[in-house]
Structure 1
């Protein structure tokens, strides 16, 4: 029998502040109405959107037929020697399957990138054993469509019928469904269209790739069913109510960021999934909660959070945690989905739309239409293997090194602001770029997020434009030794990657956000030089110089 979830508010002052909101939500019967999919909970402006976005509340029941169907397909594939699963998908189509499989310890190759080197590495796996799961709610996601085309060509070049190796997950009636059926793809799973992407962990989008890879997806639904019995009740003990009330109370007092650390949950990468859920659901109308995922409970940002952040342990309580959430993965999915929807109500936000996501996509398309990912701009300065491309008036004319540029950049951050590091690189071969997050957090004293581009555009990208207007944005791009043409498209992956970085930077700059792009002409050497430049800032030096 699956156990439920638990929420512990470890900070007495926060628990007291949250108490009034808990009472209000319970008295108004909001938890029960949410579990019953009441679309009126977020006001008349949000009602039409909410009315087609609440089917996730019953997925623990409506997805019950999927495990058997997925298991049957997996057995069929294994009988043909097909046991390597590659997933192409963005946002909710990849984050949940990645958490599920990593937690279960089964192999899944995830492509949520436009980096040509990372995609080329995936192509160099054993195609004779490979099945590609093509996952897109809209059916027109540019990254996913590009991967599909590239793999189709690779299969054909290896003498393999591509249709036999393609499994599709999409919404009914999407362009991808039509393409799959016309081409005779191996299998098409259609998901409930009344579930938004970031709430889709327990739909076919989460379960199909994870189940084909060998994860125990039936137990996820058992966990969620147990959690549902807790989150649907109008009770002050409802964990989702307590969690939402605590986050709302902290936000009222200026803690607009939630810092996540794993404290021994046994769940791998949960912070990356919850980051999208919260940031994309609440980061709009100039408000919201920004998720800051840190490496451990001893990391900068968790142990020294300041007054603008709430610390959340995923797992047992930790000395620095103000809130701790525990439970099985399926239960935690449901807990955080309910809590986020409730938080949207308290903050006066529609948690189901994403009004600012399209802007960066449109800018990237415009650059691609202009050819080769847009015009090549001359760098502001060059320091070793790093080209500096600065946007905005914040850069001091006398800056001549990366450290001096970074010092001026961080000084442009508003009080209680945050630093967003965005690495348009190879998530595997350039994994060392992730060290920039703790290094910058330690030396600037600012809450610092890290995202791999372009996947963060489908996650925190909404918050960057629609949330609190106090971020500064550091883009890291890099020269590629190889590139991959996208069949029947007038661009390569490298050009698409470049257009996505430049397009998002343009949108941010147009909203008067400080943007700095550092381009690595040699990725390995440039990353070393960049880390060394950050380390030369000294502890909290950049922020202190600007005080």
Structure 2
């Protein structure tokens, strides 16, 4: 079997409780038959044109030969390296696919000027860029495309020979790219971005980089029939019931790579589940953890562990708990199973799993800041070289960096979580990810970590639309170098700062406690930040 699942404790009880009704209500076959009524009348209009992912294996088969032919054409022209400009659903699946198969792909999903410059300086003469955006209006992707076009021209390379576009038919990017003469792949418009792993968004960059796409689609096809049948052994129904049917709801979903051969699956699941379920004050918050995570030894009543394994009957790391899910399978089968399970979870939670009503709010706030170019908000105070800002409930009771962090942790409500949002160059500052475990141990609560602006297209929806129990630590930096964006009145450095400020303002408007720390000298301030947080 290409997927194997075992459940214990509260997860097993959830399956026993909900699986019979899911089977008798014909939920699996209804999803496969594109029935938009499964999620209630409020979701029906959206669901009516968002279920194409159930047919993605068959729909994507004709793409394989086209992608392979283009790969050979690019290879003959001296292209040995593929880069991808995309955010969220446009980048996470290709990242998992290529890392799991050991294929080289540079994923550019940041507006940090240092990261953009690193990508521009990486084998440009033998690089082709995939520009991937479902809407065609994503500011990050548009900005990345512009600087690559300029870099290719300055290197004496025609961008039309090196840039490939993936977008929905009729999008602004589709129309502009075709008018300019770029090679365009259109994706299925009935598939939402986070469900698009097995469509052109997942396949074009992965295939051009060298992945065997037939094998990936074969893996998904082996599970497709079982996922469509209303039976007790349907893994999509089992997984959906396990993650969304516990009572009371264990809405913090720990994702632990526990010996699986798949690299980075937790990051892809995080976006799929958080953006699909975090709305109307409800939702499931994925928490990507490692085997040293404090959450594994805490007795948290709202935490459910998912072990991503290669044998669902075994696990490598200790701290086994009674309430957990173990799932193993091939990558293609995992993609499709989690998509079905997320749709099932939406039905159990009583929400529409296909919209993202709060994602646009941070984008609108960013646009407003870029258009108005207001003066930066003055820091409440500066402590150990770090500028400190935040909402009044955090800053009003703080006198220095250490006390501000203490207040933020104290703001955590019962059943709450802390989200770290690092709007920095993650190539230069990878150590910041270590703050997750430190704060999880200190707070005794689940902690998520996201690189900005990448997480805005993932957990950002949950932060605003999910349960109002989050507190937020935002980290920004004064970049040592900046990069202008052709024909735009702002630079990458200004863009990423506006994205951080815009998101913080929206969180504050939603009543969420926010602590904002700006590293004026990132290389020097990081040590002071770790000392204060410890």
TM-score computed with the length of structure 1 as normaliser: 0.94
1:168 to 165, 168, 173: 165
1:236 deviates by 1.0
The one-character-per-residue Cα deviations of 1:304-347 (angstroms, maximum 9, x if unpaired) are 25111110011144423610111000100000000000110111
Equivalent residue number for residue 430 of structure 1: 429
Q: In the aligned structure 1, how far is the partner of 2:299 from the partner of 2:272?
A: 21
The one-character-per-residue Cα deviations of 1:128-172 (angstroms, maximum 9, x if unpaired) are 101110000011110000000011011111111111111000000
Q: In the aligned structure 2, how far is the partner of 1:517 from the partner of 1:407?
A: 14
Equivalent residue number for residue 179 of structure 1: 176
Q: In the aligned structure 2, how far is the partner of 1:161 from the partner of 1:211?
A: 22
**Counterpart mapping for 1:383-394 below 5 A:** 383-394=383-394
Equivalent residue number for residue 544 of structure 1: none
Unaligned regions of 5+ residues in structure 2, if any?
Answer: none
Q: In the aligned structure 1, how far is the partner of 2:299 from the partner of 2:366?
A: 35
Q: In the aligned structure 2, how far is the partner of 1:437 from the partner of 1:377?
A: 27
1:302 deviates by 2.9
The one-character-per-residue Cα deviations of 1:267-325 (angstroms, maximum 9, x if unpaired) are 111011000100000000000100000123x3222332511111001114442361011
Q: Secondary structure at the match of 2:22?
A: helix
1:233 deviates by 1.0
**Counterpart mapping for 1:129-528 below 5 A:** 129-185=126-182, 187-250=183-246, 252-296=247-291, 298-304=292-298, 306-315=300-309, 316=311, 317-318=314-315, 319-320=320-321, 322-371=324-373, 374-397=374-397, 399-528=398-527
RMSD: 1.2
The one-character-per-residue Cα deviations of 1:427-474 (angstroms, maximum 9, x if unpaired) are 211111100111111111110000000010000000000001000011
Q: Secondary structure at the match of 2:294?
A: coil
Q: In the aligned structure 2, how far is the partner of 1:148 from the partner of 1:24?
A: 48
Q: Secondary structure at the match of 1:301?
A: helix
Q: Secondary structure at the match of 1:482?
A: coil
1:100 to 76, 97, 110: 97
Q: In the aligned structure 1, how far is the partner of 2:385 from the partner of 2:155?
A: 38
1:529 deviates by 1.2
Q: In the aligned structure 1, how far is the partner of 2:168 from the partner of 2:299?
A: 41
Q: Secondary structure at the match of 2:394?
A: coil
1:396 deviates by 4.7
Unaligned regions of 5+ residues in structure 1, if any?
Answer: 536-547
1:424 deviates by 0.2
Q: Residues 222 and 333 of structure 2 are in contact (CA less than 8 Å); yes or no, is this contact kept in structure 1?
A: yes
Q: Residues 394 and 404 of structure 2 are in contact (CA less than 8 Å); yes or no, is this contact kept in structure 1?
A: no
Q: Residues 392 and 509 of structure 1 are in contact (CA less than 8 Å); yes or no, is this contact kept in structure 2?
A: no
1:82 deviates by 0.5
TM-score computed with the length of structure 2 as normaliser: 0.97
Q: In the aligned structure 2, how far is the partner of 1:295 from the partner of 1:108?
A: 24
1:220 deviates by 1.3
The one-character-per-residue Cα deviations of 1:63-118 (angstroms, maximum 9, x if unpaired) are 11122211111111111110111100011000000000010111111111010000
Q: In the aligned structure 1, how far is the partner of 2:214 from the partner of 2:375?
A: 50
